Structure 1
Amino acid sequence: MDHFLYRDGQLMAEDVPLAQIAAEVGTPVYVYSAATLLRHFRLFDEALAGMDHLVCFAMKSLSNQAVLKLLGDAGAGMDVVSAGEYMRARAAGVPGDRIVFSGVGKTREEMRIALTGGIRQFNVESEPEMEALSEVASALGVVAPITVRVNPDVDAKTHAKIATGKSENKFGIPISRAREVYAHAARLPGIKAIGIDVHIGSQLTELDPFEAAYRKVADLTEALRADGHEITRLDLGGGLGIPYARDNQAPPLPLDYGDVIRKTVGHLGCEIEIEPGRLIAGNAGILLTQVIYVKSGEDRDFLIVDAAMNDLIRPAMYEAHHDIVPVVEPAPGFEPHAYDIVGPVCETGDTFARGRSMPRLAQGDLVAFRSSGAYGAVMASEYNSRPLVPEVLVSGDQFAVIRPRPTYEEMISRDTVPEWV
């Protein structure tokens, strides 16, 4: 469910017409619904009711300060993968004891920043990282709490570029080596292993891979406890998918996901952490764009819009589908027309959809890319020297620009030319 619905023939963001945002802010522009963000966070929180738990929003999906503050004030923790994300979370008012630091390539400087500023735990991904963290923490006179990310060799049945739990993936240590790695951790002075971390991929649409991975984590928890380790926390990652196409079967609900957690690890008495990103943010955002031209080709018609692959790269990178809808509601029984929907960037890959059935559209019409709140703005770039797309947050009948579109002068002024050129 989201809060982007037609009312009186106009697509709305909660109680704000998207046409009004386009008129005042310009296009392309990302628009987020505060009500949808909060609703989806609370669905996960309620799914784990009765268990000691923390829902950590995966910031890599959407890291705008306004969104982080909205979720943080509602009680969310944050899952970060860089010092920049850590600093963003802290700037948004999220305390260090609600921030989990993940990622395969943490630097010593990133470790120092998090240890100095306060951190809930590091999800460690390798023995060299574990040793580096121990040295940094010891130099600061502290002990860093860690979980070790284990790779359970479970097929997440998702796109190859966002699968993370198979043995050939770069993430974590093989679960078969976990006991020796935890024994090594116990000998290092600057760290203390308090739990286990696992994350098998993103955009999962079935629960079986979660269950298979979590059963392996349950067995490992009991084995590590038998070895004398105090395992009190399980970080189970995120990855639950969303329905990008409205006519596809809906993925499992957070409530069903919570039941899998209870069934597989609920008996262990551990605090549970989960790290959803896409399901909280994905359907909470749209990319609003305008038709520049309608172009007739040899055997197809093109809708050329002012959004491009630098604004929303998922279709170019993952062949990802987004429902694309007109802002003016089509008349009942309209005759559909097939368009290739493309952007203005000088790449054939700057194609959002091929042969997409749409109502007939004209120059100046507004369309919205649904389900683009996650991995949209955060992956945007200035390719072709196009200014970064702005972001807007809506709450009820009010909206605010939460990241402005830079001017061409601001964009160019970031470059410096050496005196000798």
Structure 2
Amino acid sequence: MTDVNSVEDSRVYQDDHLIRSLVAQYHSPLYVFDAAAIRANCRTVKQAVPYAHLHIRYACKALSLQAVLKIMLDEGMWIDASSINEVHRALIAGFTPEQIYYTGEGATLGVYRDLVERDVLVNCTSIDQIDLLGQAGGTRCSIRINPGEGHGANTQTNTGGPSSKHGIYFDQLDAAKAAAAQYGIRITAIHSHIGSGTDLGHWLRIKDKTLDFARGFPDLDTVNLGGGLPVVYNKTNDQPMPIREWGAALTQSMQEFSAEMGRDIELQLEPGRFLVANAGVLLAEAQAVKSTTNADGSDGFNFVIVNTGLNHNIRPALYGSYHPIRFIAPKDENRGAPRDYVIAGYLCESGDVFTVDAAGNLRPRVMDEIRVGDIMVMAGVGAYVHALKSEYNSMNLPASVMIMEDGTTRMIERRGTLEDVMRREAEVYQDENAPKI
């Protein structure tokens, strides 16, 4: 068990022979996922927290492919779902309703009736949702508490404090209890999550605040402390979670809290990114290499255009996220001296650039000479990359391949087609039973 969950250490990212063979067989762009890495990450978290009454829920919004969900099921993970479709995807993968936890910021009566009928625990994120759950016939719920502070890699991943939309603000808990009592709803669980990429100090402080809130709920049987375990994308800047120290602190706190409450209180955790980030790479091909010149005649930028873009990984454009990138030649050969390169996508979009900072400024990287036909390998795409993909510019979606534990490969999602892009346009429907509009 290691504290460093670095995406650069991925066995797929480092294996030139494997990368060449995958591109030759499946073409590019291509998502590649590593089953062994996912399993290892699951076991790391389980081993880190020896608390006897623990369930780990996979935040499946990070990567919801059926092949991944089935690995999670096999590893004993439960599910944190953020939409009704994620609930149904989990059910299709084989999870039972008891193993699924629903946390959605929006809600409809129809969705809540479906969840109540299936006996999926609803984590209410507003007092309005408690009212809606009562109308749907719910008799128990969890509530998500905004503890008044948050922390994360940036403002977009910070999920606590007055600037966050998430959860019921901590000073409104009496109103939440009153709303639940009006419908005879028992609040059996509380939940808090302050952001993705937080550190140990913030994690433990919010843990303590959450346990303080938990003392005010007489029907409580579960405390859910969310996720947010950091992943090392950039070894120069990113700090890992000291996973064993983290797990030991959680275990001690929950043992003491259970003793105080006079009964065993279940601990639930919701890692998403930590379980899958380092298990994915994105492969693409260099299709053009070109340069610009500044107005004063000095060198501008050397651009490498690859056959993928923000439609297949939006994180750099959305968050300024860093992903390790390297290029390999189709076959071993000598190359010229290293140069600064900006790696950009193939979309008709100025922001379609992978090597940027959080403000969107170009940040060239020093790499050996790159030529057309070279294979780009981008690490750390297991979390919130495939899940955020789009068909912008009517581009087809990549295929997805899983590297199995024995080293064999299996396609788990076929490459997209124009028919897929257009499948919901009413004008192209050929189905006689399609709605007439």
Q: TM-score, with normalisation over the residues of structure 2? A: 0.87
Structure 1 distance, partners of 2:150, 2:421, is 43
Aligned pair count reads 404
Q: For the Cα contact (< 8 Å) 1:338–1:357, is it kept in 2?
A: yes
Match of 2:188 among 168, 186, 194: 194
Aligned sequence identity (%): 29
Q: For the Cα contact (< 8 Å) 1:33–1:393, is it kept in 2?
A: yes
3-state DSSP of counterpart to 1:300:
strand
Structure 1 distance, partners of 2:107, 2:173, is 20
Q: For the Cα contact (< 8 Å) 1:242–1:282, is it kept in 2?
A: yes
Are residue 414 (structure 1) and residue 424 (structure 2) matched?
Answer: yes
**Equivalent residue, structure 2, for 1:232:** 221
Structure 2 distance, partners of 1:78, 1:338, is 43
Task: Pick closer, same or farther for the CA change 1:330–1:44 going to 2, 3 Å.
Answer: farther
**Equivalent residue, structure 1, for 2:313:** 312
**Equivalent residue, structure 1, for 2:413:** 403
Q: For the Cα contact (< 8 Å) 1:155–1:166, is it kept in 2?
A: yes
Structure 1 distance, partners of 2:133, 2:62, is 26
Q: For the Cα contact (< 8 Å) 2:144–2:192, is it kept in 1?
A: yes
**Equivalent residue, structure 2, for 1:99:** 100
**Equivalent residue, structure 2, for 1:211:** 204
Task: Pick closer, same or farther for the CA change 1:331–1:320 going to 2, 3 Å.
Answer: farther
**Equivalent residue, structure 2, for 1:4:** 10
Structure 2 distance, partners of 1:392, 1:25, is 8
**Equivalent residue, structure 2, for 1:140:** none
What code does the residue aligned with 2:16 have?
L
Q: For the Cα contact (< 8 Å) 1:291–1:363, is it kept in 2?
A: yes
Task: Pick closer, same or farther for the CA change 1:25–1:100 going to 2, 3 Å.
Answer: same
Task: Pick closer, same or farther for the CA change 1:155–1:407 going to 2, 3 Å.
Answer: closer
**Equivalent residue, structure 2, for 1:125:** 125
**Equivalent residue, structure 1, for 2:142:** 147
**Equivalent residue, structure 2, for 1:376:** 385
Structure 2 distance, partners of 1:303, 1:418, is 37
Are residue 61 (structure 1) and residue 78 (structure 2) matched?
Answer: no
Structure 2 distance, partners of 1:334, 1:146, is 62
**Shift of residue 200, structure 1, vs aligned partner:** 0.6
**Equivalent residue, structure 1, for 2:166:** 171
**Equivalent residue, structure 2, for 1:343:** 345
**Shift of residue 263, structure 1, vs aligned partner:** 4.3
Structure 2 distance, partners of 1:308, 1:149, is 35
Structure 1 distance, partners of 2:336, 2:267, is 50
Deviation digits for residues 141-199 of structure 1 (CA, Å, limit 9, x no counterpart): xx44311111111231430011111122111111122234224313313x321021101
**Shift of residue 389, structure 1, vs aligned partner:** 2.2
**Shift of residue 241, structure 1, vs aligned partner:** 1.2
3-state DSSP of counterpart to 1:150:
strand
Are residue 251 (structure 1) and residue 240 (structure 2) matched?
Answer: yes
Task: Pick closer, same or farther for the CA change 1:144–1:42 going to 2, 3 Å.
Answer: farther
Q: For the Cα contact (< 8 Å) 1:152–1:167, is it kept in 2?
A: no
Task: Pick closer, same or farther for the CA change 1:418–1:373 going to 2, 3 Å.
Answer: closer
* Structure 1 stretches lacking a partner, 5+ long: 138-142
Structure 1 distance, partners of 2:152, 2:385, is 23
Higher mean C-alpha deviation, range 297-306 or range 250-259: 250-259
Task: Pick closer, same or farther for the CA change 1:159–1:249 going to 2, 3 Å.
Answer: closer
**Shift of residue 253, structure 1, vs aligned partner:** 3.6
Task: Pick closer, same or farther for the CA change 1:351–1:418 going to 2, 3 Å.
Answer: closer
**Shift of residue 344, structure 1, vs aligned partner:** 1.0
Match of 2:214 among 205, 209, 221: 221
**Shift of residue 416, structure 1, vs aligned partner:** 2.2
Are residue 289 (structure 1) and residue 284 (structure 2) matched?
Answer: yes
